[in-house]
Structure 1
Amino acid sequence: MPDPYIRTARLDDDAELSVLDRATWSPLHAVMPEPQPPYDPFFDERHSPDGYLVAEAEGRIVGYIRLAHPTPLASNAHVLAIQGFAVAEEARGRGLGRALIRAAVEEARGRGARRLTLRVLGHNAPARTLYESEGFTVEGVLPEEFHLDGRYVDDILMGRQL
């Protein structure tokens, strides 16, 4: 697979992103139940294309990352949060996740953010390792915040300065 091209999502990416989102669903990172038909559109009034960066390789979308303001408050406008992140199974292990995180950092800087934050489930060791290697640190833990797949799971809050 050649190096991906990372770009802002377009409205016509909706169906392809919806398929990718369903294909990458896992209790390792999802707090919502597995999607079932009929499927909702990927984009809606709260999730517009300009909030997403997508990775495209060989004419297909193989990953995405979503940036959003964590709150609507003006006093918090200097912070952006990663609120969605997926990489297609066949594209994993090739640095695509790292490339998307780095693109998100640059995009956040370009939007004038001073901090970038995220939440990750405590049992998602691969994601936590990736985030830490890209400068994110644990800033808080919500113990047993979720009950997933028959067990209680911590919600880890991470962030980094830009």
Structure 2
Amino acid sequence: MAESFTPPAPTVRPAVLDDGPALGELDRSTWSTLHEVVERPQPPYAPFFDERHRPQDVLVAEEVSGDGGAAIVGYVRVVPPTPLVCNAHVRQIQGLAVAGRARGRGIGRALIRAACVAARGQGANRITLRVLGHNAPARALYASEGFTVEGVLPGEFFLGGRYVDDVLMGRPLSP
């Protein structure tokens, strides 16, 4: 009987510019109305990184593949929610994706925890996010990591023929 390969826990690291193509492909492969409010991307695809979406704002989860190479299996984008000095103590998760083949292995949780550590390292004492009301798996994950619902914008989006709430969640970043 052949042994199956169990990948080790992923490594979370800062993104680099060369990760852009793999991250773009991950974004396209995980697109769903469960968490997206924009239309499905179509060719020609926009680059993952641009002047508003910089490598230094992204953490990637990478795991060793069966052939010894490394593959990006997830990412989280953590940015200041506004350019205002009075809001500089807050960071916001503005994107989280995990490859379908890697789901259910704690990668999303590892990325959220790494995002909180990175935000604290940038001097933040609070982290926030927005999640669609019908995305129960993501909401449960965020709640299990200490995020609480801080507001709801009822029917904020019209997706798939129905109105969907925009749920605002946040949590303090204690040292």
2:22 and 2:113 map into 1 onto residues whose CA distance is 23
Task: Please give the residue correspondences for 1:53-92 in structure 2 after superposition, counting only pairs within 5 Å.
Answer: 53-58=59-64, 59-92=70-103
Q: Which amino acid aligns with 1:52?
A: V
Please name the residue that 1:19 is paired with: 25
RMSD over aligned Cα, in angstroms? 0.5
Matches of 1:67 and 1:79, distance apart in 2:
10
Secondary structure at the counterpart of residue 159 of structure 1: strand
Separation (CA, whole Å) in 2 of partners of 1:45 and 1:78: 22
Partner SS for 1:3: coil
The question of 1:132 aligning with 2:143 is answered yes
Separation of aligned partners in 1, 2:110 and 2:20: 22
TM-score, length basis structure 2: 0.92
Unaligned runs of 5+ in 1: none
- Equivalent residues in 2 for 1:1-162, closer than 5 Å: 1-58=7-64, 59-162=70-173
Unmatched 5+ residue regions in structure 2? 1-6, 65-69
Residue deviations 1:44-63 (CA, integer Å, cap 9, x gap)? 00001000000001200000
Report which of the two structures shows the higher radius of gyration computed on alpha carbons.
Answer: 2
CA distance in 2, matches of 1:48, 1:119: 20
> Any idea what SS the aligned residue of 2:42 has?
coil
The TM-score normalised by the length of structure 1 is: 0.99
What are the Cα deviations for residues 57-102 of structure 1, in whole angstroms up to 9, with x where unaligned?
A: 1200000000011111100000000000000001000011000000
Task: State the Cα distance separating 1:29 from its structure 2 match.
Answer: 0.2
Q: Tell me the CA shift for residue 2 of structure 1.
A: 1.6
